[in-house]
Homo-oligomer: A and B are copies of this chain.
Amino acid sequence: MSNKPVVTVDLGGTNLRIALVVGDEVVNRHIFPTPRGAEAIVGLIAQEALAISSASSSDIEGIAIAAPGAASRKLGGLSKAPNLPELNGYPMAAQVTKLTSLPCIVENDANAYAAGEVVYGAAKGMQTVVVITLGTGVGGGIVLEGKLWRGVDGSAAEVGHICIEENGRLCGCGAKGCVEAYSSATSMAKLAREYGVEASSAREAYDLAKQGNEAALKAFHRAGTALGIVVAGLVNTLNPQAVVIGGGGSSSFDLLEPGIWQELKIRAFPVAVENLKLVKCTLKNYAGLLGAAALLRGLA
């Protein structure tokens, strides 16, 4: 395990963020529109990594890329990348290494996010933690006894499509009752509008709820109980020390929390609930960058 600086990349369908992680600090952060095509993406990462590296006073440990899709360590890339199909099956890590002579890993972005919150953020010092991210969708990452749990195909912790209501709300995936259809930031805004709240975003609905708008309060309670059913199921399955709620939607944490605890108390094994910590993320947009660095450092 090393603590040398790491060049870290948060690769999204729209933007590519690249930065240097020194200790637990993100420095020298740059944002680019994500280029199209695998070679252009890898070329930009390599070019910027070399620039950051040559500006750094100390040796670089390597390059850690958090990317959307199922990541395969064997491939050194994404085995499934619905949002960046050009990277499907592309050996990204080997290509980056070829261009930079630096070691490179590729990790699923939600997994990197989770590793970040566990190693440097809300669950720092804890060993067994489930992280749930509320964004456009609902994602997650699982750390068990200090190591990221990837599953046999790298598709573990796809918690957004856990069902809470067999014939419930229609999810973007085509199934009914997925928690993503209730508790993603997008779904929270939608729920609020269905409850009669005039809000174009979860943020606006949240502000109205904080001003006492009853319908908005009800919508967040509903998103909270839906999330709570899934949290209870995860606690019954894994019995973790903590559950971290992250992603943009976590800015409504205080309004979601009562619904989550309500369902935990009804549905989860009492001893596991008594000892459980339910906490809000602390690293925000830096969790993925820091988590990717933590994974390269062998810290999760």
Contact = CB atoms under 8 A, between A and B. Distances in A.
A233 B152 CA distance: 15
Interface stretch (A47-55, A246-254, A269-277, A291-299): A269-277
A128 B153 contact: no
Interface stretch (A10-18, A57-65, A158-166, A184-192): A158-166
A196 interface: no
Contacts of A162: 232-233, 236-237
Copies in the complex: 2
A180 to B, nearest CB: 11
A228 to B, nearest CB: 10
Contacts of A70: 269, 271
Contact of A267 (B163, B236, B240): B163
Nearest to A129: B152
A224 interface: no
Given A162-B237, A175-B267, A266-B174, A272 B153 contact: yes
A160 to B, nearest CB: 8
A157 B237 contact: yes
A236 B161 contact: yes
B233 A155 contact: no
A221 interface: no
A174 B167 CA distance: 22
Q: Which 4 A-B pairs have the closest CB atoms?
A: A151-B239, A156-B239, A158-B236, A162-B233
Given A166-B229, A233-B233, 8 more contacts: A144-B149, A150-B239, A151-B238, A153-B272, A157-B237, A165-B165, A166-B168, A175-B266
